[in-house]
Chains A and B, each alone.
Chain A
Amino acid sequence: MNELERHVEKLFRHQPDTPETQELREEILSNLQAKREDLLAQGMDERAATEAAKRDIPSVDGLIDDQQTTNVERYRMACAQTVWLHCILFWIGTLPLLFTGYGWLGTVGLGLSVLSGVGYLLFWLLHPVMQGTRSLAGARRRKSMAWRIWGVFYAVAALSVAAMTFGSNLWYGTPVTIEGPYQWAVMASRFYVPLLTVLIPLTVSRFAALLPQYRVEG
Chain B
Amino acid sequence: MRYISASDMLFKSDELRVTSYKSSHNLRVFIFSLVTIYSLLVTSFSHAELIDRVVAFVDEEAITLSELEETYENIKKVDASITREEVLKTRINRILLLREARKLRIEAPTEDDLLHEYIDLKVRTFIKLKEEDIGDFYNRNRAEFKGMEFDDVRDKIESYLLEKEVNLRLKRHIEDLRSKAYIKAQL
Partners in one complex: no
Instruction: Write the residues of chain A forming the contact surface with B, with a CB cutoff of 8 angstroms.
Output: none
